[in-house]
Amino acid sequence: MNAPTPSGDPTTCLSRTSYDAVILDLDGVLTDTAALHAQAWKETFDRFLSERGTSTASSLRPFSIAKDYGPLIDGRPRLDGVRAFMAARGIALPEGGAGDPADAPTVWGLGNGKNRRFTALLQALGPKTDADCLIFVQALRAAGFKLAVATSSRNGHAVLEAADLSGLFDAIVDGNEVARANLGGKPLPDIFLHAATALDAVAERTVVVEDSAAGVAAARSGGFGRVIGVCKSGDPGALTKAGADPVVTSLAAVKVLGPSSPRALPMQVLPHALTYLDTILQAAGQAPLAVFLDYDGTLTPIVERPDLAILEPEMRETLRRLMTRATVAIVSGRSLEDLRTLVGVEGLHYAGDHGFAIDPPDHKKLELAAVADLPTRLDRIEKHFSEELSDILGLRLERKQYSIAIHYRQVDDAAAVARIRACVQARLEGNSGLRLTEGKKVLEIQPNIDWNKGKAVLWILDTLRERGQDCYPIYLGDDITDEDAFKALAPLGTGIVVEGAPHPSFASYRLRDCTEVRAFLEALLAKL
């Protein structure tokens, strides 16, 4: 086996300045279902051949995965695979029709039989996702590439859904779409050109990633800007001969370059973090971990009154154990003092006020000169709100060192909420030193400077790096304000959004609730 093309080779570097989109094959690239396909083909063909008699003629010898699958089947639409294999054996087979039973001696019958066997194997064994490819896909998303899957398999959607990956792609073209649109099969370029059109991309600025010679040849004939061949085993020469620019043994050899422009996706379509914990750790490599955690909605459930969001003892114990294996930071909109009291674990990094107040374990706190005089100004604003809004039932003002949070979760009157908003907006008019940030049933007045949770996390990482700890960051959060951290860390680490109020997220993975957050942390501990 040849070694991957060196990472310094320009053919293994993808930049948004050169390309807009990437189209990936499914089987053998994104998932390792090729073995399931090959086994389904063997069972199908061997049954057919055995039913034709016991002749020792070469035309009736069993299907060979090693010799027959690659040149005759791999990368071709299902029916084309049947035709190619039968032609190679000199067997004339009637076409039949789409309704043929799985045991019918027709092209359609064998194709339907193979699909039935593959579906059974998929349900029994499930698809195995290629970790390097998933890391590659997440890096492409972080750089703003449009993404599509193009596969001849009619089971493309089912495989992606079984692998919990379908939401990562802007377009999916599978064998069913090939048939509907009457596209030619590989080695014709139709499927890739169709996928590029679905992405609103031109072939010259689109990259195709393929593992089969037929797929590489199809992409090359379609005029695509770059064709990357993936050869995990065997001789890569066939992919090179078919026209692959680089041939790599793993997509870890392909570097995704900036400019970084992450894209948000609906949180519910993101892969599940517990399922892909090993992939997350593989992305971290040998680097020590820095785990960043929001408080409300992440470590504790969202409750009607913030003072009732009490950390469970089991979660506190998990944090204590985690800090012995990784750097742990709590990043929250709560005040620093409130946060330290609620968490109650010494030795953590605490970032309150959405990162405006940071207290590391050595207590060398962040000092932002731009907000040095802010507390005095906020005193006046707090007094104003207390006087103007004191009659609104359920309203809660939370004064922090560098911000004021106006909580209206318990305000039932829509007119009262509108009045709160109007009062806040009026106070901010002409005050360029302040800005309004919205969260879950909360309006927050913050300093109008270029600082947020993302900046705070990067500051913590920089301080760790200065001390010789070049950490891989993992950030878990549920709120809109956590998106600043997800976006900042997209090229550097892993963001995990905890599902709450639905919103597009820059995170790479998801967890459902606080219970799953603790399960994830415990699973992480077991791996460290």
Phi, psi of 275 (to 5 degrees): -65, -35
Phi, psi of 236 (to 5 degrees): -75, -5
Q: Are 78 and 175 in contact (CB under 8 A)?
A: yes
Question: How many other C-beta atoms can be found within 10 angstroms of the C-beta atom of residue 295?
Answer: 24
Closest CA to 157 of 141, 173, 133: 173
Amino acid identity, position 166: S
Pairwise CA distance, residues 191 & 268, whole Å: 28
278 as an active site residue: the answer is: no
Strand order in the sheet with 171-173: 171-173, 146-150, 21-24, 206-210, 226-230, 247-248
CA distances 52 to 46, 59, 61, Å, are 10, 10, 11
Residue 509, beta-bridge partner list: 496
Pairwise CA distance, residues 284 & 150, whole Å: 29
Which two three-digit tokens encode residue 182?
């009457």
Question: How many other C-beta atoms can be found within 10 angstroms of the C-beta atom of residue 95?
Answer: 12
Please pick, among 27, 294, 479, 482, the residue that the annotation labels catalytic.
294
Pairwise CA distance, residues 386 & 406, whole Å: 11
CA distances 466 to 185, 453, 460, 463, Å, are 55, 20, 10, 5
Closest CA to 396 of 404, 379, 408: 408
Pairwise CA distance, residues 490 & 488, whole Å: 6
The catalytic residue positions are 294
